[in-house]
Amino acid sequence: MAIADLHAHTTASDGTFAPRELVELAKKNGLAAVAITDHDTTDGLAEAEATGRELGVEVVPGIELSTVFEGKEVHVLGYFYDPEHPELLRLTRMMRDDRINRMDKMIARLQEAGLDITREEVQAEAQGAIGRPHFARVLMKKGYVSTMPEAFDKYLTYGKPGYVARIKVAPEEAVRVILAAGGVPVVAHPGLLDKDYLFDSLVPAGLIGLEAFHPDHSEEKRRHYQALAAQHGLLATGGSDFHGAGAEHRGELGSVNVPLDIVRQLQAKSAYLQNQH
């Protein structure tokens, strides 16, 4: 059966594989399709799509937008959108600027806590959009922590010395912008938030799917979110959330996957939306 991984990150955000390398790995791992879902940026898409055409791997244009709900992060995936849509460009530009401002504040706070970390070191880790995993890698290299989870637990999560809140974009706004760009909005790894009532507001806002299949979802949670998707008339999607070796590593690319038919359903939803505009 042809399969797809609908959640993967490249060096355009916080992954360790360049877009070309990720598509090459998708081919090696037997995937018919892979979605490039970098955080708040579309910068890796062109290289990935060119490699996909060369190797015969379907590259699904994706993005993972960072939003906030009740003080917690909610990530909204978008698929098959127009990457040049003005509203999407405005939102991603605002998020990119916020990441830079946030980086400087995080560095200042970590330095105040007695850690020797510089802007140049963080930027050297980040080829694309800067995020907390880049800080974690610097902290590992300098011997402050041994693992990525330890870096987050000690320094980078809420209430810890290096934590700085991101700008407050509501999930409904991310859904609206993805729809405006002709894309299909899907809530990523809802089990990490564990607030199912979120869907009571996002479904009327136009949400089309939820990520039922994710490495951090137990079998019980996968069944739960499949049922919740059916209850709300949403597509149940899935992917490995692949970041690459040593970077929030949750398993190999394609280790969590969905049938290629899910890609076709997402594509059909996008075509329908674009015909409405």
Same domain, residue pair 204 and 239 = yes
Its domain, for residue 137, covers 93-156
- My answer on whether 76 and 102 are in the same domain is no
**Residue 112 located in a structural domain:** yes
Distance between CA atoms of 236 and 97, rounded to whole angstroms? 32
Confidence of residue 12 (pLDDT cuts 50, 70, 90): very high
Each residue's pLDDT tens digit, 53-86: 999 999 999 999 999 999 888 999 999 999 999 9
| Neighbour tally for 140: CB within 10 Å | 16
Q: Which of 195, 211, 207, 267 is nearest to 232 (CA)?
A: 207
Find the CATH number of the domain harbouring 51. Answer: 3.20.20.140
Q: Does the pLDDT at position 14 exceed 70?
A: yes
pLDDT at position 167 is 86
Residue 88 placed within a domain = no
Place of tokens 């859904």: 175
* Residue 247 within any structural domain of the chain: yes
As to burial, measured by CB atoms within 10 angstroms (0-12 exposed, 13-18 middle, 19+ buried), residue 166 is: middle
Banded pLDDT at 148 (limits 50, 70, 90): confident
The answer as to whether 48 is a domain residue is yes
164 located within any domain: no
CB 188 within 8 A of CB 64: yes
